[in-house]
Amino acid sequence: QQGELNSFLWTIRRDPPAYLFGTIHVPYTRVWDFIPDNSKAAFHASSSVYFELDLTDPYTISGLASCQMLPHGENLQDVLPQELYRRLKRHLDYIKLMLPHWMTPDQRGKGLYADYLFNAIAGNWERKRPVWVMLMVNSLTETDIRSRGVPVLDLYLAQEAERMKKTTGAVERVEEQCHPLNGLNFSQV
């Protein structure tokens, strides 16, 4: 029942009202039916929408990609213990082998190939910082692979906002996202 759904929507009472809505980085199709009508109405009524990052901006995407890389041409093999590196490589080989079996007929029908998908997710993994490799590995599950091609909730809302000709922006810069993660030491990761 819509009336029983928890909202994650905060209203700042002013004229016009302002809203703060908490999102989650999962394919929007997993959560869209559970977002209460009041949250959707607030989104539609708003003339301006600001997101954590501007995921529709190519500079944001390239900035996120470059901040994940190890500095000075280092390689993951240089920074990980040898046995951990070997286990990681074996696991990624397993993922690459399983990927074609995990993909949906709909994904294949859209011309998505397993090798392309693997490279899009894990390409250049040996050059990434350990924290980003950890996050990448956590997203390489059958469930996550089956939902590839469906935008996460943030991106979906950003695309909808642009389609509706709303003013959009971001409240954070890539550096504000990257530096705290890149600042973790190896034992924390």
pTM: 0.77
In a domain, 140, yes or no: yes
Is residue 122 very low, low, confident or very high in pLDDT (cuts 50, 70, 90)? very high
Is residue 164 very low, low, confident or very high in pLDDT (cuts 50, 70, 90)? very high
In a domain, 188, yes or no: no
- Pairs from 4-9 (Cβ < 8 Å, separation ≥ 24): 5/34, 5/35, 5/36, 6/36, 7/36, 7/38, 7/39, 8/39, 9/36, 9/38, 9/39, 9/42
Nearest 5°: phi and psi at 171? -100, -10
In a domain, 136, yes or no: yes
In a domain, 147, yes or no: yes
**Domain membership of residue 84 as a residue range:** 9-183
In a domain, 111, yes or no: yes
Angle at which helix 174-182 crosses helix 130-138, to 10 degrees, equals 100
Nearest 5°: phi and psi at 12? -100, 110
Is residue 3 very low, low, confident or very high in pLDDT (cuts 50, 70, 90)? low
More confident call, 167 vs 3? 167
Looking at the 3D structure of the chain, how many domains does it have?
1
Is residue 144 very low, low, confident or very high in pLDDT (cuts 50, 70, 90)? confident
CA pair distance 118, 74, nearest whole angstrom: 22
How does the average pLDDT of the chain come out, rounded? 90
In a domain, 39, yes or no: yes
Answer whether residue 5 shows pLDDT above 70: no
CA pair distance 94, 163, nearest whole angstrom: 40
- The region of weakest confidence among 1-5, 10-14, 35-39 is 1-5
In a domain, 16, yes or no: yes
What pLDDT is recorded for position 2? 57
CA pair distance 172, 154, nearest whole angstrom: 14
In a domain, 42, yes or no: yes
- The region of weakest confidence among 7-11, 108-112, 113-117, 155-159 is 108-112
